[in-house]
Amino acid sequence: MASSVLRVPPGLRRHSVSVRQLHGPSSSPASEHYKVLVVGGGSGGITMSARMKRKVGAQNVAVIEPSENHYYQPLWTLAGAGAKSIGSSRRSTASVVPSGVKWIKSRVQEFSPDQNRIRTDDGKEISYQYMIVALGLQLHYEKIKGLPEGFEHSRIGSNYSVDKVEKTWRALQDFREGNAIFTFPNSPVKCAGAPQKIMYLSDAYFRKTGKRPKANIIYNTSLPVLFGVKKYADALWDIVKTRDLNVNLRHNLIEVRADKKEAVFEKLDNPGETVVLEYEMLHVTPPMGPPEVLKGSPLADEGGWLDVDKDMLQHKKYPNVFGIGDCTNLPTSKTAAAVAAQSAVLDRTISKVMKNEKPNKRYDGYTSCPLVTSYNTVILAEFDYNGQPLETFPIDQSKERRTMYYMKADVMPHLYWHGLLKGLWGGPGPYRKIMHLGLK
């Protein structure tokens, strides 16, 4: 453990941060102090813990994470369609926290950035010199009337929760005939392609099992577009038409009547108007939002998200606080691929701040969404803040390809566990690593 003496980081003096602002009045000293405190043990938190260990030494880094297990969530889409097991996405948190880094198995209860400290749910106060917030986001099934209790019934699942993914697979297997409905909520989401990936996989499963003639597949999305980047949206519309899939834009799920197998949608362009659809299978993508502990804290913007500079990933008010991943207000899609790109920028930003230098590496908003369109094809969407394609490979990535499915299903999980989480790679995009390996 590092010394409990809290000093003003040299890199903060240029921001005119006073000693009083850094220390502030406190009724009692913090029980622990770390040079770098990482809040959250998901993709961004573990990745940055590994990078910070190399930068300042393991004994000077701690990560706060209450969960016993760490998941590679991109596999859940495939698990919901029976292509992967949910177990293959899981590792113990103890096994992914970098050796020597302190794992604090608690939950943050309160942020006090003016005093450079946090308080955990067990009452412990921990101070820091630098803090990286990587809390992810929060699922809100309860904002849909009839949920989450509706999951007790069959025929309904969600690939967004580890305890509901296998319900998706069961609903898919039990399907006989009728409507198979897939939803996209009226909120920010992580992995914005996932709500329709399971639709394409379900279509493929129904065709493989001979059920497709009796299935009416419906995708109801709150968005005004099928996908946010036109190049890939055009390709997806072609698939929708070819496979006879029904897409309803600006339809938002507001209620599930699980006992009647009915889903109620509001028409966002016609306030007050709703439509009720019966379902034989329902896949729910829940509304999502920032973690409760961030909402109303000094670190949050008006929407409750961590308020960081979109280029440097440094907090706009507290220069010794940084953010990565889903909890931030970065105007890009929330994906593991985005975390990979952000990690390299954030590493450089923190290095510069620690040296009292101006950060100079900028994050361009790179994110990636491998759009699974069947059990052996993927459209690899890669793009920046402006929604412009930012592709890795010298091919048209808007076309369905078997090689991209192989990368999504088999190569990327390996690189995640043995590369990204160990802080060994990042940058313009995770697929650069594959290019370096010669898998073109």
Q: What is the DSSP letter of 30?
A: -
Rounded Cα distance between 198 and 173, Å, is 13
Catalytic residues: 191, 369
For residues 277 and 248, the answer to whether their CB atoms sit within 8 Å is no
pTM: 0.90
For residues 64 and 106, the answer to whether their CB atoms sit within 8 Å is yes
For residues 379 and 400, the answer to whether their CB atoms sit within 8 Å is yes
Residue whose token pair is 């790179």: 366
The C-alpha R_g of the chain, in whole angstroms, comes to: 22
By C-alpha distance, which of 35, 74, 48, 36 is closest to 342?
48
Query: Angle CA(319)–CA(324)–CA(328) in degrees, nearest 5?
Result: 85
Element spanning 169, H or E = helix 165-174
For residues 300 and 307, the answer to whether their CB atoms sit within 8 Å is yes
For residues 279 and 255, the answer to whether their CB atoms sit within 8 Å is no
Give the largest CA-CA distance in the chain.
70
Amino acid at 350: I
By C-alpha distance, which of 120, 128, 126, 111 is closest to 6?
128
Rounded Cα distance between 379 and 56, Å, is 40
* Residue pLDDT tens, the chain, 440 long: 333 333 334 334 333 333 333 333 334 566 899 999 999 999 999 999 999 999 999 999 999 999 999 999 999 999 999 999 999 999 999 999 999 999 999 999 999 999 999 999 999 999 999 999 999 999 999 999 999 999 999 999 999 999 999 999 999 999 999 999 999 999 999 999 999 999 999 999 999 999 999 999 999 999 999 999 999 999 999 999 999 999 999 999 999 999 999 999 999 999 999 999 999 999 999 999 999 999 989 999 999 999 999 999 999 999 999 999 999 999 999 999 999 999 999 999 999 999 999 999 999 999 999 999 999 999 999 999 999 999 989 999 999 999 999 999 999 999 999 999 998 866 555 555 444 343 32
Name residues whose C-beta falls within 8 Å of residue 66's C-beta, 6 or more positions apart in sequence.
Answer: 105, 106, 107, 121
